[in-house]
Amino acid sequence: MVIHRAKGIPAHDASTGEQKALLIRLVLAHARLIKEMTGFAPLLLLDEVVAHLDPARRAALYDALSTLGAQVWMTGADPAAFGDIVGRAETFVVRSGAVEPAPRGC
């Protein structure tokens, strides 16, 4: 069972955003453990990872990912949710099966 320590409640009683934040913490902890054990950070594929995260949690996620030293692929349907990472990462748009660099400011 996963517990939201700050609130002292089971994860299934937490909000959707809190549940997602807990899951992300577990994924990041596992990635750090792999890096510690092998010397190499794993490749992370995070689908819709910023959905349901408030701006503070998104910023914390981006900071944590940048210090991990891993290659990270994040997907999402809302380009605005990735606005804070522009300039810190390469961004792409997928349209009609084609991948292209995202326009500046997206």
Question: What's the confidence (pLDDT) of residue 72?
Answer: 94
- This prediction has a pTM of 0.80
How high is the pLDDT of residue 106?
59
Q: What is the pLDDT along the chain (106 residues), one digit of tens a residue?
A: 888 888 888 888 988 888 888 889 999 999 999 999 999 999 999 999 988 788 888 888 999 999 999 999 999 888 888 888 878 888 888 889 899 988 875 5
For position 19, what pLDDT does the model report? 87
Three-state secondary structure string covering the chain: CCEECCCCEEHHHCCHHHHHHHHHHHHHHHHHHHHHHHCCCCCEEEECCCCCCCHHHHHHHHHHHHHHCCCEEEECCCHHHHHHHECCECCEEEECCEEEECCCCC
* The CATH number, out of the four listed (3.40.50.970, 3.40.50.300, 3.40.190.10, 3.40.50.720), of the domain defined by the range 3-101: 3.40.50.300
